[in-house]
Amino acid sequence: MLSFVNHLHAQHCPTYEFYRGEKVPCFEKVERYDYVIEALKANGHEVSFATSSANEVLAQVHSQRYLDFLSSAWSRWLALDTANASVQPFPSVWPIRSLRDDKEPDNFIAQLGLYSMDNGTPMVAGTWQAVKQGADCAASGASHLATTGRPSFVCSRPPGHHAGSDFMGGYCFLNNAAIAAQTLRNHGAAKVAILDVDFHHGNGTQSIFYERSDVFFISIHGSPTSEFPFYLGYADEIGQGEGKGFNLNLPLAAGASVETWFDALNTATQAIQQFAPEALVISLGVDTFIHDPISKFALDTPDYFKMGDCIASLKLPTMFVLEGGYAVDAVGENVVNVLNGFESFVSSNA
């Protein structure tokens, strides 16, 4: 499997975040990527830098107003005060409920709140460069799958599935899974499925495709009654308008067993089979790991091989996009186990 790697990811290197009200060292850190790359190379996986640009597809997934803000945010932050070079900006006000979000205020921190769903998504000098290169990797992986039929893996950080069309959050700025799916559509796939196996609901991906019938979004995740992102991910969210029936949430209670998780995966694969997509995108979060510091499922390292095997049994053109996973020293082995499980099934059924 060819892996498209984000060689600019380390330019996004914030030192702290706010996690449930506390200032803490970042869980989403540079080392996550390093361990995955190490495991990929140790297992003989081929790697490549981005071969395609996401420029065209970005505006199909994200609003132009948001892209303009994100791409210029750091230079504008510095323009306020050169001392801001050593300061991570965070929002302090948000346009919730009766407040307006159609007007962009002049104040930078107010703009940051306009385009943020939380205050746990820190930005630094190289954030735009890192996330844009991640988007290019997503477009490259999808183009590779579309033109060769061969599976791909997008190895990038920060993750993307919490980013909506016009907001950042949950460590995410650009939605790589959505960019991959839209790229596949642009290459001619009539229907694409996205399966999100991250512990946290892919609220951004859901919102981007919620009114569309050409992209079926399925997510297995911790129940939003107790787990981030809290305000989306319930089972009664099934899509809207043309997209009604093309969104499937499978929320599980915190602490759900391995057996319960794989039962949900079986439900998801049956729904994908019924949808009959021409391509499949996996939002591959491995924060379902039993020792993950901010998640509460029970999967262990061998279970990820089984996960890959189950996904491969769908026999669909498939690509994987790295999302979460914060037990840093185990991330690489768990990710590669999914990829190896997938390839083992393909090889044995060739």
Element (H, E) at 313: none
Q: For the chain, what is the total number of helices (H) and then of strands (E)?
A: 10, 10
Q: Give the whole-angstrom CA distance, residue 111 versus residue 108.
A: 5
In a domain, 192, yes or no: yes
Q: Using 50, 70 and 90 to split pLDDT, how confident is the model at 4?
A: very high
Q: Decide if pLDDT at 20 tops 90.
A: no
Q: Residue 102: inside a domain, yes or no?
A: no
pLDDT tens digit sequence for 118-161:
999 999 999 999 999 999 999 999 999 999 999 999 999 999 99
Asked if the peptide bond before residue 158 counts as cis, ω within 30 degrees of 0, the response is yes
Q: Rounded to two decimals, what is the model's pTM?
A: 0.98
Q: What is the pLDDT of residue 21?
A: 87
Buried/exposed code over 113-140 (b: 16+ C-beta within 10 A; e: otherwise): bbbbbbbbbbbbbbbbebbbbbbbbbbb
**Residue 187 bears catalytic tag:** no
User: How many domains are there within the chain?
Assistant: 1
Whether residue 105 has a cis bond before it, omega within 30° of 0: no
Domain enclosing residue 49, as ranges: 2-53+126-348
- Tell me how crowded residue 151 is: count the other CB atoms within 10 A of its CB: 23
Tokens of 149: 């039929």
Is residue 42 domain-resident? Answer: yes
pLDDT of 41: 95
User: Quick one: what percent of the chain has pLDDT higher than 90?
Assistant: 99
Residue 75 resides in a domain: no
Residue 190 binned pLDDT confidence (cut-offs 50, 70, 90): very high
97 within some domain: no
Domain assignment of residue 84, yes or no = no
pLDDT in tens, 205-241: 999 999 999 999 999 999 999 999 999 999 999 999 9
pLDDT at 350 over 90: no
With respect to residue 174, please indicate whether it lies within any of the assigned structural domains.
Answer: yes
Name 228's Cβ contacts closer than 8 Å, sequence gap at least 6: 170, 200
CATH of the domain at 281: 3.40.800.20
Mean pLDDT across 248-258: 98
| pLDDT of residue 175 exceeding 90 | yes
For the stretch 65-107, pLDDT in tens is: 999 999 999 999 999 999 999 999 999 999 999 999 999 999 9
- CB of 123 closer than 8 Å to CB of 14: yes
What mean pLDDT is predicted for residues 34-61? 97
**Can you give the pLDDT at residue 93?**
97
Q: What is the pLDDT of residues 256-280, one digit of tens each?
A: 999 999 999 999 999 999 999 999 9
What integer pLDDT is reported at residue 172 of this predicted model? 98
Confidence bin at 248 (pLDDT 50/70/90) = very high
Q: What is the tens place of the pLDDT at every residue in 283-323? A: 999 999 999 999 999 999 999 999 999 999 999 999 999 99
The answer, yes or no, to whether residue 194 has pLDDT greater than 90, is yes
Catalytic choice (9, 62, 161, 162): 162
Give the whole-angstrom CA distance, residue 35 versus residue 50: 20
Q: Examine residue 162 and state whether it is found in any structural domain, yes or no.
A: yes
Mean pLDDT of 29-43: 97
- DSSP string for residues in 143-191: HHHHHH---EEEE-SS--TT-BTTBBBTTBSS-HHHHHHHHHHHTT-S-
